[in-house]
Amino acid sequence: MPRSPKHIGSLSHPEPGKRPKETRQNSHRRGYTRHWGKARARFLQEHPLCRMCLSMGQTQPAQCVDHIQPHRGNKQLFWDESNWQPLCNSCHSAKTRREQLNGDV
């Protein structure tokens, strides 16, 4: 079945601030390996609450380890724990969306 023009246009023109998926490396190549999984689990055990929610007086469990400053493949920045923060899924998604809209990632 032929694709609609709207669908074809969305493939050739990604949203501003978003890279086309085919140019993004897979998660393993971006550093999210088994070693990362262990470090992530340890960090979340040590920091179980979402930092952004806490700053708003709410308590939500953290599910993500966010890189405060996007590492963009920089392994030193990727593994710098002072650049990590615990976030809930909702706060992590909102932060990532803001970064994408601002062209920060």
**Integer angstrom CA distances of residue 12 from 9, 39, 59, 73, 94:** 5, 37, 41, 25, 25
Q: Which of 7-11, 24-28, 84-88, 100-104 holds the top average pLDDT?
A: 84-88
Q: Does the predicted model carry a pTM greater than 0.75?
A: no
The confidence score (pLDDT) of residue 11 equals 44
- In this prediction, residue 83 has a pLDDT band, given cuts at 50, 70 and 90, of very high
The Cα–Cα gap between 3 and 1 comes to: 7
Which 3 state secondary structure label does DSSP give 54?
helix
pLDDT tens per residue, range 34-72:
999 999 999 999 999 999 999 999 999 999 999 999 988
What's the distance, CA 66 to chain centroid?
6
- In this prediction, residue 32 has a pLDDT band, given cuts at 50, 70 and 90, of confident
The confidence score (pLDDT) of residue 15 equals 55
Q: Where are the domains of the chain?
A: 28-102
Residue 30 region, left (φ>0) first, then alpha (ψ -120 to 50), else beta? alpha
